[in-house]
């Protein structure tokens, strides 16, 4: 039962709700992965990679809040709990211990790539049922793709 009533028809609400729930999971995990690597990165490019990782964390946190609030606005409860994120995220695990700067960059390239693929699927899925949600997903994907480009250039 939802206290917030959606203006969307039930079938559209399911599609959009699933897209938002998945986006939230991926964004929460991306922020966690970037922060974990941020704390453990070492190497000659430490400072630049360290700072770049914090930019990803800030982007993931900002967009996760926007996605969660959009979800709430249409009557779908957001779920960013650790167990949900661990079970549903598209991002692989991060190695334990220190992470060489080149490896850190590759971890983020892979993580961003996995999230971007799923975000683009969500963009397609929400085109007709809810252009408002689609706009949110388009903007956040553009920001993630910018980060992906910058990390790829690090190992160019």
154 band by pLDDT with thresholds 50, 70 and 90: confident
CA–CA distance, 122 with 105 (Å, rounded to integer): 26
Enumerate the β-bridge partners of residue 100: 42
Question: In angstroms, what CA-CA distances link 108 with 10, 17, 33, 35?
Answer: 36, 27, 8, 11
Q: What is the DSSP letter of 99?
A: E
Average pLDDT rounded to a whole number, residues 90-95: 92
Q: Name the average pLDDT for the chain.
A: 95
pLDDT at site 13: 95
Q: How many CB atoms lie within 10 A of CB 131?
A: 11
Q: Where are the alpha helices (DSSP H) in the chain?
A: 10-40, 46-73, 82-88, 101-126, 131-154
Residue 81's contacts (CB-CB under 8 Å, 6 or more residues apart) are none
The 10s digit of each residue's pLDDT in 112-141 is: 999 999 999 999 999 999 999 999 999 999
Residue 129's contacts (CB-CB under 8 Å, 6 or more residues apart) are 8, 9, 11, 12, 13, 15, 16
Phi, psi torsion values for 86, nearest 5 degrees: -60, -35
Whole-structure pTM value: 0.95
6 band by pLDDT with thresholds 50, 70 and 90: confident
In the predicted structure, residue 40 carries a pLDDT above the cut 80: yes
CA–CA distance, 79 with 69 (Å, rounded to integer): 11
């Amino acid at each position: 039962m939802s206290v917030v009533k959606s203006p969307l028809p039930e079938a559209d609400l399911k599609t959009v709700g699933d897209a938002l729930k998945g986006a939230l999971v991926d964004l929460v995990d991306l922020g966690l992965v970037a922060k974990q690597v941020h704390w453990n990165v070492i190497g000659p490019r430490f400072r630049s990679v360290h700072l770049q990782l914090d930019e990803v964390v800030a982007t993931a946190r900002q967009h996760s809040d926007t996605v969660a609030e959009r979800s709430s606005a249409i009557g779908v409860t957001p779920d960013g709990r650790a167990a949900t994120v661990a079970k549903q995220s598209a991002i692989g695990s991060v190695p334990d211990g220190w992470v060489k700067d080149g490896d850190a960059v590759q971890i983020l390239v892979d993580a961003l790539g996995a999230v971007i693929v799923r975000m683009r699927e969500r963009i397609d899925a929400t085109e007709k049922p809810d252009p408002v949600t689609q706009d949110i997903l388009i903007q956040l994907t553009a920001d993630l793709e910018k980060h992906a480009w910058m990390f790829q250039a690090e190992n160019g």
